Chain A
Amino acid sequence: MPSLKEIRNRIRSVQNTQKITRAMKLVAAAKLRRAQDNVVAARPYALKLRQMMATLAQVVDPEQEPLFEAREMPSKCLLIPITSDRGLCGGFNSTILRQLTRFVRENRDAWEGIGVAPVGRKGREGVRRLDMDTWLDMQEVLPDRTAPSVRHAVGVLCDLFVAGEVDRVYLVYNEFQSALTQVVRTEQFLPLSADAFSDVELPEVNVADMIFEPAREELLAEMIPRYLESQLYRALLESEASEMGARMTAMDNATKNAGDLIDRLTLQMNRARQAAITTELMEITSGAESLKG
């Protein structure tokens, strides 16, 4: 049985930890609110643009638009997992890494090679542990999560695809649902072939004789980068809001657990103190008895 002093020290240490987790929870809650506003605001535009691209993908001739070309013998597949730089956010990063492992296990035979381009420090460390091939240093391509960086990254990825260095690109990210739940999405980023839009509800209209103004090529040249930017940017925002939600929940649990632990230790401490008092009293009374004798 630990001594009274040991238990007291332990309680103090847990209390300090609890202070930190509580502070982290509050910070995450404040950041979550902002991140959530951002992602909710960005969604309608990104989803509508995705719908437009889905319509376009039906009528575009892949021979003329290289980014729409679904290559027949897919050989090189690039996964872009989006993770956080910092830990202490529950299962946020590990679910992404688990999805990577699963993807590789299920698709190993379909591809000549599967590579990754992790975004975020936790992802970089994770893929090193999993022994996956990193094909692209995203720290260089996407140094921060701002609009100009996103534009640059989209350019780099498109160049790789057109040059035939990669034949398909997927984004793997946490989609924000609420502070308590995130859902891992694996979304085809390139090519923009019709099968990339299987989740989009298409209008029941014949789009074959659609009018394009300006001419289709010119319109596409402007629309494709905008679309890819908005998809990547949205994925980053979804991931950020999810991270804050996951951290808030994790830190809330940690604070509660610390509270439980303190209660248990306090009980133990009181018992130890009571035991010490009882022993002392017994000693005194037995001493008095022996004097009387």
Chain B
Amino acid sequence: MSEALQIEVVTLERAVYSGAAAEIVFTADRGELDILPGHLALMTRVHPGELRIRRDGSTESFAVGGGFAEVLDNRVTLLVTAAEGVADIDVERARRALADSEKRLDQRPGVDDAEMREQAERRARAVARLRVAERATGSAD
């Protein structure tokens, strides 16, 4: 029962992850959501952030974009705009994207339109990338 979850992570471009796992953590509407085997049927929004998949004691991390998740009978499906593993993350680019999106958000505080939402999503994704990359280098030390 240690790897009772069937996980599938699919982005607009490809299927990123498909396999068994013991636990999956991602960001949903009310903060981080931790799914363990036996979870109730659930459909939720996924926010840009960190995705962690634990299997056999090792954990794989991804920086994901926004999307949707479904939990049905121990099958977890994540549909997100993008998902990058540690190896795919360009730390320099993420830093630049973070600085740029923050600058844009600061220029028009309080405005909530399509462009501002896009920038907020960009910032969240940059933060997620940096966190995933940091965790990877931290564990390597």
Binding site for B on A (CB under 8 A): 41-42, 44-45, 48-49, 51-52, 55-56, 203-207, 209-214, 219, 222-223, 226
Contacts and interface: CB of A to CB of B under 8 A. Distances in A.
A205 B79 CA distance: 20
Given A48-B79, A205-B72, A205-B73, A219 B40 contact: no
B41 A210 contact: yes
Contacts of B140: none
A42 B12 CA distance: 6
A212 B29 CA distance: 10
B72 A44 contact: no
B77 A48 contact: yes
Contact of A203 (B8, B10, B12, B73): B73
B45 A41 contact: no
A55 B70 contact: yes
Q: Is the interface of A mostly helix, strand, loop or mixed?
A: helix
Given A205-B41, A209-B41, A211-B41, A49 B14 contact: no
What is the interface residue range for chain B against chain A?
Answer: 20 to 34
A44 B17 CA distance: 12
B7 to A, nearest CB: 12
Given A42-B12, A211-B42, A213-B42, A203 B79 contact: no
Interface in B17-32: 28-30
A223 B14 CA distance: 19
A222 B43 CA distance: 13
B30 A203 contact: no
Which of A45, A52, A206 has the most B CB atoms < 10 Å from its CB?
A: A45
B113 interface: no
A212 B15 CA distance: 24
B56 to A, nearest CB: 25
A52 B79 contact: yes
A49 B79 contact: yes
A207 B41 contact: yes
B13 interface: yes
Given A45-B79, A207-B41, A210-B40, 13 more contacts: A44-B15, A49-B68, A52-B77, A55-B70, A203-B72, A204-B73, A205-B73, A210-B43, A213-B28, A213-B43, A213-B44, A219-B43, A223-B68
Nearest to B12: A45
Contacts of B70: 52, 55
Contact of B43 (A42, A211, A226): A211
Given A44-B14, A48-B77, A52-B77, A214 B40 contact: no
